[in-house]
Chains A and B, each alone.
Chain A
Amino acid sequence: MQEVLVKVEKLKKYFPITGGVLQRMVGQVKAVEDISFDIKKGETLGLVGESGCGKSTAGRAILRLQEKTSGNVFFEGRDIYKLKKKQLRELRLDMQIIFQDPYSSLNPRMSVGDTVGESLLDHGICSKKDIKDRVMETLETCGLSPYQYRRYPHEFSGGQRQRIGIARALILNPKFIVADEPVSALDVSIQSQIINLLTKLQEKNGFSYLFISHDLSVVQHICHRIGVMYLGSMVEIADKKELFENPLHPYTKALLSAVPVPDPTAKKNRIILTGDMPSPANPPSGCKFHTRCPYAIKRCSEEIPEYREVVPGHCVACHLV
């Protein structure tokens, strides 16, 4: 039984909407609504969903880059929200993030070497002369030429910049990395390079990933377990094989059938959802998915379905299951 590294319990993140002359709170965007899951050591948990489902916000709340509204996040048993500033800083060495946009996540005025190595300097991990060696080593591990450390971000392509971002996270030797749509902004042929790199690094170093993405085919390739989010709530979570072979939630089924397959002969039993994603500031009553669900019954609009384990390791929130 693998050890649990990260434990998320009933995490909520609401953003206030202010309005009126006095800027009072007139509503809330319920970005993350009561999600719970574990991530074990060496495991990759995928978090999929479409825009507005709250997966990125959840990722940041788990790292405490975004403050939570309620709930708990435990890292190696410690409640990260109870830590003081100095302890949190130390914890950052173990929890890192890779961003989606390789263009805005690097400081345009800092050289690659400085960007990748400054965390070592700031935490006092290495002496100044050792830093250069470590940076060059890490750049090479990430598939970049080590002598590029003097260059600036704008001289690199999107894929290379993403590698720089990965090197920056990697150099601290973290135990847990949140990868927030790390390949979505890249071309297909570069995507595969980066995915291979991330897989190889995990095999070598044994860290855990929270892999956030909207692309199911990528998620299936790299993750061990996958959670599906809709409008802030977790609707289903299961092992990779189980989720793709036996999806239970109607949204998961629709999501899987919506992915275009590069095979013109494939028969499509497509479930086309009606309507658009509702606004997270004004979510539907009961089961949030009921407005678009092809199987919705009366109960779905009245009662929020319970998130429960139906098969060992496979949890769903749906009245019909």
Chain B
Amino acid sequence: MESKLQSGNQMEKKYEDEVVMSPAKLAWKKFKKNKIAMTGLIILVIILLISIFGPILSPYNMAAIDLTNTTGEPSLVHLLGTDASGRDNLTRVMYAGRISLAVGFFSVLIQVVVGVGLGVIAGYYGGIIDSIIMRLVDIFSCLPTLPILMMIGALMLDLKVRPENKMYFLMLIIGLLSWPGLCRLVRGEILSLREKEYMQAAEALGLKDSRKMFKHLLPNTAAIIIVSAALGVGSAILTESGLSFLGLGVTVPTPSWGALVQSVSDMDSLQSYPWLWIPAGICILLTVVSVNLIGDGLRDALDPKHNI
């Protein structure tokens, strides 16, 4: 027995000497092992870097018009050709990245903060608080998005909002219109998690409500939130493109990927000038796919049971 105890202590000592890894470091380590997720991350980082530094390094200004060379085919001077006003397409695509990515991520951020916050509170407290929040969700879900967006678009026009600032409004609007879905999901998850035995244990320990909500319930909804957020980024970018088409998003000359795709809309132009819309479309595709891959990887990395 003695020898068993001794060897036990030796093992403990070795364990204590091990580098203490915080849960965040552990999650990152697991994430790194996931090759597919890392691929997604690398792609996204490349897109991000190109969007930020591309326009700075480009010899062209994204708004510089050159009427002598409109809708020019890709050449050595203009790698992705020029658009209808002679502007360099490549620079515009790179610059558009800034807009689309910003809109994508920040609108999702708003969606997550509002949706998750209200979802947790509704699911945890139930009763009248739940009813009120769910009615809010219902109202927001029923809002006819298009008419509202048009109203806001018209308002912005009226208030003579600067094109750059329109982007911020866009993020806010998209975020505020999409939080209900996530709120319902989170609330549903909280309702089922609430009945778990470890929540009863938390109740028995006399823990504060805030602790129960944010330290116990919320981390267990991480998987749903991550997946929803990943999907949300893609959705936001696509929504933005639709809005831009309606003139409610960013306006010329500010480009966004969606706007670039929408700029060519009749069959003729689509076929004749593929360089105008395909690059931006590919960028949207790559971004959405890589965000989803990262989302999956993150969800798995945060799950303590998932051992790669």
User: A109 at interface (Cβ–Cβ under 8 A)?
Assistant: yes
User: A69 at interface (Cβ–Cβ under 8 A)?
Assistant: no
Nearest CB on B from A209, distance (A): 15
Q: A109-B219, A109-B220 are in contact. Are A152 and B205 (CB under 8 A)?
A: no
A106-B8 Cα distance, complex, nearest whole Å: 25
Residues of B within 8 A of A168 (CB): 201, 205
Q: Is the CB of A101 within 8 A of B205?
A: no
Residues of B within 8 A of A104 (CB): 196-198
Q: Is the CB of A172 within 8 A of B205?
A: yes
A96-B198 Cα distance, complex, nearest whole Å: 13
Q: Which of A213-257 contact B (CB under 8 A)?
A: none
Q: Is the CB of A119 within 8 A of B304?
A: no
User: B138 at interface (Cβ–Cβ under 8 A)?
Assistant: no
Q: Is the CB of B206 within 8 A of A145?
A: no
User: A320 at interface (Cβ–Cβ under 8 A)?
Assistant: no
User: A97 at interface (Cβ–Cβ under 8 A)?
Assistant: yes
Q: Which residue of A lies closest to B218 (CB)?
A: A109
Residues of A within 8 A of B198 (CB): 104-107
Q: Which of the segments B97-105, B116-124, B159-167, B207-215 contacts the partner chain?
A: B207-215
Residues of A within 8 A of B20 (CB): 150
Residues of B within 8 A of A90 (CB): 206
Residues of B within 8 A of A152 (CB): 304-305
Q: A101-B197, A105-B197, A109-B219 are in contact. Are A118 and B204 (CB under 8 A)?
A: no
Q: A99-B197, A105-B198 are in contact. Are A122 and B204 (CB under 8 A)?
A: no
User: B66 at interface (Cβ–Cβ under 8 A)?
Assistant: no
Q: Is the CB of A92 within 8 A of B204?
A: yes
A145-B10 Cα distance, complex, nearest whole Å: 12
Q: Is the CB of B12 within 8 A of A119?
A: no
Nearest CB on A from B155, distance (A): 44
Interface bits A76-99 vs B (CB < 8 Å: 1, else 0): 000000000000111111011101
Q: Is the CB of B207 within 8 A of A118?
A: yes
Q: Is the CB of B205 within 8 A of A118?
A: yes
Q: Is the CB of A122 within 8 A of B304?
A: no
Q: Is the CB of B201 within 8 A of A99?
A: yes
Nearest CB on B from A273, distance (A): 31
Q: Which one of B211, B216, B304, B305 has the highest number of Cβ atoms from chain A below 10 Å of its Cβ?
A: B304
Q: Is the CB of B305 within 8 A of A108?
A: yes
Q: Which one of A107, A108, A147 has the highest number of Cβ atoms from chain B below 10 Å of its Cβ?
A: A107
Q: A99-B197, A104-B197, A119-B207 are in contact. Are A147 and B16 (CB under 8 A)?
A: yes
Q: Which residue of B lies closest to A90 (CB)?
A: B206
Q: Which residue of A lies closest to B200 (CB)?
A: A65
Q: Which residue of A lies closest to B11 (CB)?
A: A145
Q: Is the CB of B304 within 8 A of A109?
A: yes
A65-B204 Cα distance, complex, nearest whole Å: 7
Q: Is the CB of B305 within 8 A of A119?
A: no
Residues of A within 8 A of B201 (CB): 97, 99, 105-106, 165, 168
A272-B152 Cα distance, complex, nearest whole Å: 78
Q: A122-B211, A145-B8, A154-B304 are in contact. Are A63 and B197 (CB under 8 A)?
A: no
Residues of B within 8 A of A119 (CB): 205-207
Residues of A within 8 A of B206 (CB): 88-93, 119, 122-123
Residues of B within 8 A of A89 (CB): 206, 208
A122-B216 Cα distance, complex, nearest whole Å: 13
Nearest CB on B from A49, distance (A): 20
Nearest CB on B from A119, distance (A): 4
Q: Which residue of B lies closest to A89 (CB)?
A: B206
Residues of B within 8 A of A146 (CB): 12
Q: Which of B113-164 contact A (CB under 8 A)?
A: none
Q: Is the CB of B197 within 8 A of A65?
A: no
Nearest CB on B from A111, distance (A): 8
Interface bits A153-175 vs B (CB < 8 Å: 1, else 0): 01000000000010011001000
Q: Is the CB of B204 within 8 A of A96?
A: yes
Interface bits A109-128 vs B (CB < 8 Å: 1, else 0): 11100000011001100000
Residues of B within 8 A of A92 (CB): 204-206
Residues of B within 8 A of A111 (CB): 23
Q: Is the CB of A147 within 8 A of B15?
A: yes
Residues of B within 8 A of A101 (CB): 197
Q: Is the CB of A122 within 8 A of B305?
A: no
Residues of B within 8 A of A165 (CB): 201
Q: Which residue of A lies closest to B206 (CB)?
A: A92
Nearest CB on B from A137, distance (A): 15
Q: Is the CB of A145 within 8 A of B12?
A: yes
Q: Which one of B202, B203, B205, B211 has the highest number of Cβ atoms from chain A below 10 Å of its Cβ?
A: B205
Nearest CB on B from A66, distance (A): 9
Interface bits A51-65 vs B (CB < 8 Å: 1, else 0): 000000000100101
Q: Which one of B16, B202, B208 has the highest number of Cβ atoms from chain A below 10 Å of its Cβ?
A: B202
Q: Which residue of A lies closest to B21 (CB)?
A: A150
Residues of B within 8 A of A93 (CB): 206
Residues of A within 8 A of B216 (CB): 107, 110
Contact among B200, B215, B219 with A118 in the assembled complex (CB-CB below 8 Å) = B215
Return 5 A-B CB contacts under 8 Å, by A number.
Answer: A106-B201, A145-B8, A150-B20, A152-B304, A169-B204
Interface pairs A-B: 3 shortest CB-CB:
A92-B206, A119-B205, A89-B206
Binding site for A on B (CB under 8 A): 8, 12, 15-16, 20, 23, 196-198, 200-208, 211, 215-216, 219-220, 304-305
